[in-house]
């Protein structure tokens, strides 16, 4: 099972790289430049994170975002009637 941690979210939030993104590369969650990974590997970009939570993400927000992305990767939300359940606004669904 792939797990996104709050630390992954914090690293993404603080990254000074150009176009930073959280990506699933070779089975590992990494922060990399979005243009250096395949589009289908990108889980969440820094732009999306800032749009959702603002420039300063709290520990609670980092935990919530990490949990939602982990659930999405695990397919936990499959079959749930609420389309917003477990969603991180702006996050890409790597299972599609």
For residue 76, pLDDT beyond 60: yes
Residue listed under structure tokens 């300063």: 56
Q: Is 27 exposed, middle or buried (0-12, 13-18, 19+ CB in 10 A)?
A: exposed
Whole-number Å distance between alpha carbons of 36 and 66: 22
Token pair belonging to 34: 């979005």
* Mean per-residue pLDDT of the chain: 84
Token pair belonging to 49: 């994170």
Q: What is the per-residue pLDDT for 74? A: 86
pLDDT single digits (tens) 9-55: 999 999 998 899 999 999 999 999 999 999 999 999 999 999 999 98
């Amino acid at each position: 099972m792939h797990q996104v941690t709050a630390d992954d979210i914090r690293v993404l939030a603080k990254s000074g790289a150009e176009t930073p993104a959280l990506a699933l590369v070779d089975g590992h969650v990494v922060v990399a430049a979005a243009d250096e990974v395949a589009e289908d590997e990108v889980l969440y970009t820094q732009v999306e994170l800032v749009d959702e939570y603002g420039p300063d993400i709290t520990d609670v927000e980092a935990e919530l975002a990490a949990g939602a992305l982990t659930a999405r990767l695990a397919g936990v939300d499959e079959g749930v009637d609420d389309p917003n359940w477990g969603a991180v606004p702006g996050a890409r669904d790597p299972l599609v």
